[in-house]
Amino acid sequence: MKQLVLLATAACLAGAIPSLAAAQDADDEAAAALIARDAADRGDVAAQVELGDRYLTGRGVPADTRLALEWWAKAALQNHPDAMARVADNLFRGDGVAKDEPRAVSLWQRAAARNHVGSMARLGAAYAAGTGVAKNPAAALAWLRKAAALDHPEAQYLLGWYLEAGVGTPKSPVQAVPWYRKAAEKGHAPAMASLGACYADGSGVEKDLREAYAWSLLAARQGEAKAKENAAAIARTLGATERFRASRRADALAAEFGLP
């Protein structure tokens, strides 16, 4: 009987350990939030950004998008590019604040001028779509090229798409493929799908159904519906041995670049 009691006590203690650890983590986060708040109140711009991030995610403070935006706005007034970008993103979406696309674009412009690569990419997309700013394909390409050169995967994908389609620039699938590849190797699913389609069609690259299937399959694994359709269509043209080799190629690419 005594042994049973000891076993039950041990089981209860084992169950309590994760709860105690979680409580300690929560206490640590709350303490860190207080430190950040003290520094933010004194005008520390990095602390203001951190406090905004904490209010967004609820780390050490109650989640509150409005307060997150208030602290990011304070940091943005001090010309902090990450803070400008955060406020701009929320303004563009209308998340926690009234939607204001022109103001979002203005903040992206200020952040991009301070070499914030994400803002460069968003600015390129805004100029391309004419959202919040007059449509300007030349400006879109200029900003996308800057962001792509700084290794931003979304910008690399969009630049590839514009080059392949010839939007605002002479059509050049040959120039598009390397940008698709750079983004695809970073796990950008639409870029994987586009790269697979280029291999399937021989657009900008020598036709290679094994590569086409491999990249389309990787994109499909991340939920790209069109890539799933393309992979199925390619599979129907391949024999069993080639399908197996193409699947192995997809696995090899996933291992090489750390893809799902």
User: pTM here?
Assistant: 0.85
pLDDT (tens place) for every residue of the chain, 260 residues total: 555 444 444 445 455 555 546 556 778 999 999 999 999 999 999 999 999 999 999 999 999 999 999 999 999 999 999 999 999 999 999 999 999 999 999 999 999 999 999 999 999 999 999 999 999 999 999 999 999 999 999 999 999 999 999 988 999 999 999 999 999 999 999 999 999 999 999 999 999 999 999 999 999 999 999 999 999 999 999 999 999 999 999 999 999 999 99
Q: In this structure, what token pair is assigned to residue 105?
A: 């674009």
Give the CATH architecture of domain 151-260: Alpha Horseshoe (1.25)
- Report which of 57, 58, 85 is spatially closest to residue 73, judged by C-alpha positions: 85
Q: Which two tokens stand for residue 91?
A: 């303004």
Distance CA 21, CA 13 (A): 12
Task: Report d(CA 213, CA 13) in Å as an integer.
Answer: 52
Report residue 119 as tokens: 């803002």
pLDDT digits (tens, 9 = 90+) for 164-194: 999 889 999 999 999 999 999 999 999 999 9
Place of tokens 């657009």: 203
Domain with CATH 1.25.40.10 in the chain: 37-139, 151-260
| Class at the top of the CATH hierarchy for domain 37-139 | mainly alpha
Q: Are 65 and 72 spatial neighbours (Cβ–Cβ below 8 Å)?
A: no
> What tokens does 99 get?
């939607």
Helices (H) and strands (E) in the chain, counts: 13, 0
Cα(92)–Cα(61) distance, integer angstroms: 25
